[in-house]
Chain A
Amino acid sequence: MGVLIVQIVVLLLLAIGCALCAWYFPYPSPVVRRWLPPRQRWPELQVRGWLAGAPFQKSFLRYFYRDPERDPPDGLDLLAPADGIIRGADIQGDIRYLVIALSFWDMHVQRSPLEGVVVSVESLGDSFMDGEGQEFAFLRGKPCPVQKRVVIRTSAGILAIRLITSLAARRLETWINAGEYVARGQRIGKILLGSTVVLELPPSMSLTVQIGDRVWAGETVVALHKAPA
């Protein structure tokens, strides 16, 4: 009798596991969710469908995807690549990372801080940020989360702009390619439902903004131009 009970319990547990799989499909059931890598915990196709689908009002999407003209100020100083709030300006190694956090209500088209030639457009990251806290994973040599890094050779040296988004949104567009010329303030890409833009600068450049300042893409000067030594 004891063996029968053990057999029934084992089969019942397995049957519950299978039933949960069927119940939650195509989402991962709670039985397997914890064992999956982060990216597989959410069904990407469903999330994309949700983002592209009906839940958002069209009027809101028109507002969210707005792309107004900007009027860059005269001069050679570096412009903000994105709308948002300055969240960091740390120097790590020989790079200063100017972090601009975009809110849900900010315009999400990015612009070139200076004129120059695009050196490369890299796609990086395919997983969640691996740690909590203020520090970005890429500062620790890890590419996550999803991001694109646009490197531009300018009169002030090599600059890079990182367009970073969450894994859920996971939609970045860049409108430039390696070898192309970009003008100061030119549109370079768009983050769809994304979060952060990071401008990589030579550390010798003098910033004109500080943490907490609001900046506007293509209009706000964030650093003074300085030719490389």
Chain B
Amino acid sequence: MFQTHKEIQAAIGSGQTDLKSLVTTYLTNIESNRHLNAFLEVYGEEAMARAAELDGKTTGRGRLYGMVIAIKDNICYRGHKVSAGSRILEGFESIYSSTVVERLLAEDAIIIGRLNCDEFAMGSSNENSAYGPVLNARDNSRVPGGSSGGSAVAVQADMCLVSLGSDTGGSIRQPASFCGVVGFKPTYGRVSRWGLIAYASSFDQIGPLSHSVEDSALVMEIMAGADEYDSTASSKPVPSYSTEKFEKKARIAVLKNTVDHQGINTEVRSETERIIAKLKSEGHTIEEVNFDLTDYLIPVYYVLSTAEASSNLARFDGVHYGYRSPRATEMDSVYKLSRTEGFGREVKNRIMLGTFVLSAGYYDAYYSRAQKVRRMLSEQISEIFRSYDFILLPTAPSIAFKLGEKTSDPTEMYLADIYTVLANLVGVPAISLPLAKSAEGLPIGIQLMAEKHEDAKLFGFSKTLMQWSTLYP
């Protein structure tokens, strides 16, 4: 099976394959992996028709010609269903396409289906989807991570070459780590959020998952950039991520109280230490720096993200679109019953929590205080980037855990995001690289972060590091 766009392009160029046979292969893989529940919908006929059409295109081929992509079920694609993994949007059909989908299609990508995820992207194991959990292809008794669990498994099991996920607190990187693929969270504002179903708007970013850094970089190069439909999208020019290299010796910071945190799995810790030692032996500078806010990351993330979620999810009212309870008899019960029956447990938890932290009497003590801590975090991380190129962290404190292992206590599940929320809280780019594995052979991701708008530098150095991957020799 092809692992990179470059291989595919070579095979197309030499006449070894064409797009119809490529799509057929992916559709066969999707069919034989149906039990993993990664796809909520497969656009089989449509993808075949587009492949046939593109096979006839001999000149002016787009840069993603031959790339088969699947998208997370919270990214809108005109004329196609999108449900954010929720009953409340069951049957909903997009009336416009997200900017990212438009840009991928314009470069001749083929979109093969939409991918399962935690409801409204809220979760770390994909067990919160209203359409059932996704299974990790490496070990079916384990979770793929979340919330972009379907996106990670689709790449892991070669059901598409690249997938799109969204990352609010780690939802691309943590499943990438659990499934042994590359997952990239861009600088906040680097990619337009137009057409992404909102969870927490000051955190959300769309990003790619793939086997290679080069493919994530290429897809980012095409998706990124100013957009008239998203005023928070950065107007800075987009560098050539796909050709970017970083061949100097890097200065890398390791935050105190992270690799040596009490909650970390011993194998994740020893593998991270192995990578650190390897970096040192290659001549990079790698130093431990003071950071005393680790234990505040999860609390501040949940205060702020739930506040934004409670506001964003107020739009689901049972009137304009989505589910309406058949038991509703008057206006108030249209709202209440539709929301109560349409949303799942974790989504309700977060709406209630967000409503609390924004309510009169508690706003200053929780919401405003958390925004202040966000400023402190932002300043501390900026200060670190004045002296260092990158920050290195594990992506997740554990390897992929068993289905049902963390579903009884929500706070235990939240700790799965302890190393990933930082990048979203301060808006910097971050990547999870499949550089290690446990004794059992389960993937372990290593995370690198760079300063805001240094996405190119991060891709450049990641390419160097991927040469050490034990999963993709």
Are A and B associated in one complex?
A: no
Chain B residues with CB under 8 Å of chain A are none
